[in-house]
Amino acid sequence: MTIQTIATTPFAGQRPGTSGLRKKVTEFQQPGYLENFVEAIFLTLGDCAGRTLVLGGDGRYFNRQAIQTILRMAAAHGVAKILVGRGGILSTPAVSCVIRKHGAFGGIVLSASHNPGGPDGDFGIKYNIGNGGPAPEKITEAIFAHTKALSSYRISDAGPVDLDAIGTSRIEDMQVEVIDPVADYAELMGRLFDFDAIRALFASGFTMRFDGMSAVSGPYAKAIIEGMLGAPAGTVVNAEPREDFGGHHPDPNPVNAAELIALMDGPDAPDFGAASDGDGDRNMIVGRKLAVSPSDSLAIIAANATVAPGYRAGIKGIARSMPTSQAADRVAAALGVSCFETPTGWKYFGNLLDAGLATLCGEESYGTGSDHIREKDGVWAVLFWLNLLAASGKSVNQIVEEHWARFGRNYYSRHDYEAVDAGAAEAMMQALRDQLDTLAGRQFGDFRVQQADDFAYTDPVDKSVSSRQGIRIVMTDGSRIVLRLSGTGTEGATVRLYLERYEADASRHGLATQEALAPLIDIAEQVSQLKQRTGREQPSVVT
């Protein structure tokens, strides 16, 4: 084995987005493309002597090949040890868990999360720091700066590592330890939740369907829900991670998890339904004929946190992304704790969690988590709901309806316009910014605009400022319209339109969501001219 220095030239466009670098598989397969980005990571990290890193991914196409390349490059940069999941598998929450448990310096996550997989699908890579969370902007910007100036990369010429056998091997002076991808994570879940109560729930005849969407959470759900908690075999479906996710679009929402929704809407529905996404960090909670909005799920978890052993002492605070509904704010006020509003991206929660200012965090894009790790966590959220169902003896629907009766209902929806011409999307956003100063005080039907701005966030811990994080149009009754461009797509631009309307009157909690939001949808179109500017008559996805 020898360490080689390979000449290279920079590739344009390797700036990490909200969750790392995401591109088409075919881009990553270009000679030197992956190597350049990985080299930039190691140059940003500096001296790696004596350091341990964690490595794994969601099993999508190109995962195994990328892991072999990264292992050889890590050895060339003097990394002392790498922990890699068997088969190259580690969910994003599990990577965070393993980093924290083993005191690793950081980790490399190979995933494009909820994006489609396969040879024509997407691939992604991101770096997580020592707290287990996504790298902050100062690190991702440093990585990007290195990608623009590379002239070479370093790599060992060692042969491939057997990723399917638990044990240790060496590349150069670096130890490679292949670990059980589920064990550390399952142990942590056992400390947070009342597994005895959940076992008793299943023993009583309680039924459930967990859809792994042929993605990475399947092995975790299978081992914990069926193996440790005693749910009947077959409770977890689509449990085997596949390189193309079995043709699924592994994004757990009512559109992409249509099979689960149909089951839960049917006459033979189980008591509880759930799904998780490509890399295991998102979740969807479903009752009979009721898909729980992720914003409501966060609020309900916060309102009932003390049912779970890991949260018996109560919560310190809640953090939510700006586009997420304000349902959690009402719970925080009732509990007398702070509720922080951050930009979209889990990395913004890290400082709040590390400083002990927040315990629970959530994003409207089906991401929920807590201070147990520094990533959102799909299986964790499902286990919390199981713990709540066991402790309360109530159904999902009862829990949701009682929550609305106490706190009011925040009708909420997201309309995605995917693969829009990037120039047209940017022009629309700029046109909105140009009229922000004129919107306050304007009347639109029954709604009057109280404020309109381009959301900016000052981190209360490190005082860093993140600007231009989404256009907010807030009405005097608290209803909101939010527009932003997503950073998770790989082609064109994704325009996200978020709509929220608060209803305190329990007699009006049974409206269809889109019906309740129809006036706001019309106002959003009037102000943004979204359809005209994007050429799209309808959203690609409504959740």
Identify the band that residue 488 occupies on the pLDDT scale cut at 50, 70 and 90. low
Same domain as 457, residue 392: no
> pLDDT > 90: what percent of the chain?
93
Identify the band that residue 487 occupies on the pLDDT scale cut at 50, 70 and 90. low
Q: Which domain holds residue 120?
A: 3-181
Same domain as 123, residue 56: yes
Same domain as 364, residue 269: yes
Mean pLDDT of 66-77: 98
Identify the band that residue 541 occupies on the pLDDT scale cut at 50, 70 and 90. confident
Task: Tell me which of 212-216, 290-294, 344-348 is least confident.
Answer: 344-348
Measure the CA–CA gap between 93 and 108, rounded to whole angstroms: 12
> Domain ends where: 159, 181, 203?
181
pLDDT of residue 1: 82
The residues carrying an active-site annotation are: 113
Contact by Cβ (8 Å): 510, 456: no
Task: Tell me which of 379-393, 483-497, 504-518 is least confident.
Answer: 483-497
Model confidence over 208-229: pLDDT tens digits? 999 999 999 999 999 999 999 9
Same domain as 306, residue 350: yes
Model confidence over 172-186: pLDDT tens digits? 999 999 999 999 999
Q: How many helices and strands in the chain, by DSSP H and E?
A: 18, 27
Model confidence over 294-314: pLDDT tens digits? 999 999 999 999 999 999 999
Same domain as 426, residue 371: no
pLDDT of residue 524: 96
Identify the band that residue 16 occupies on the pLDDT scale cut at 50, 70 and 90. very high
Measure the CA–CA gap between 152 and 150, rounded to whole angstroms: 6
Q: What is the mean pLDDT of the chain?
A: 96
Is the whole-model pTM more than 0.75?
yes
Identify the band that residue 87 occupies on the pLDDT scale cut at 50, 70 and 90. very high
**279-to-123, 126, 169, 267 alpha-carbon distances in Å:** 11, 12, 26, 31
pLDDT of residue 128: 97
- Give the residue, 191 or 136, on which the prediction is more confident: 191
pLDDT of residue 401: 97
Q: What is the CATH number of the domain that holds 27?
A: 3.40.120.10
Model confidence over 399-414: pLDDT tens digits? 999 999 999 999 999 9
Mean pLDDT of 189-202: 98
Q: Work out how many domains the chain is built from and give that number.
A: 3
Identify the band that residue 248 occupies on the pLDDT scale cut at 50, 70 and 90. confident
pLDDT of residue 241: 96
* Cα dihedral 91→97→98→104 (10° resolution): 120
Q: What is the CATH number of the domain that holds 449?
A: 3.30.310.50
Same domain as 419, residue 403: no
Mean pLDDT of 454-467: 94
Measure the CA–CA gap between 350 and 353, rounded to whole angstroms: 5
Same domain as 349, residue 264: yes
How is residue 95 written in tokens?
A: 């990577």
Same domain as 392, residue 258: yes
Model confidence over 107-160: pLDDT tens digits? 999 999 888 999 999 999 999 999 999 998 899 999 999 999 999 999 999 999
> Domain ends where: 391, 407, 423?
407
Same domain as 208, residue 167: no
pLDDT of residue 491: 66
Mean pLDDT of 312-331: 97
pLDDT of residue 342: 97
Same domain as 54, residue 8: yes
Please tell me whether residue 195 adopts helix, strand or coil conformation: helix
Contact by Cβ (8 Å): 58, 278: yes
Q: Which distant-in-sequence residues (6+ apart) come within 8 Å of 234 by Cβ?
A: none
Same domain as 437, residue 357: no
Same domain as 351, residue 292: yes
Q: Which of 203, 211, 245, 361 is nearest to 295 (CA)?
A: 361
pLDDT of 240 > 70? The answer is yes
Identify the band that residue 424 occupies on the pLDDT scale cut at 50, 70 and 90. very high
> Domain ends where: 407, 430, 462?
407
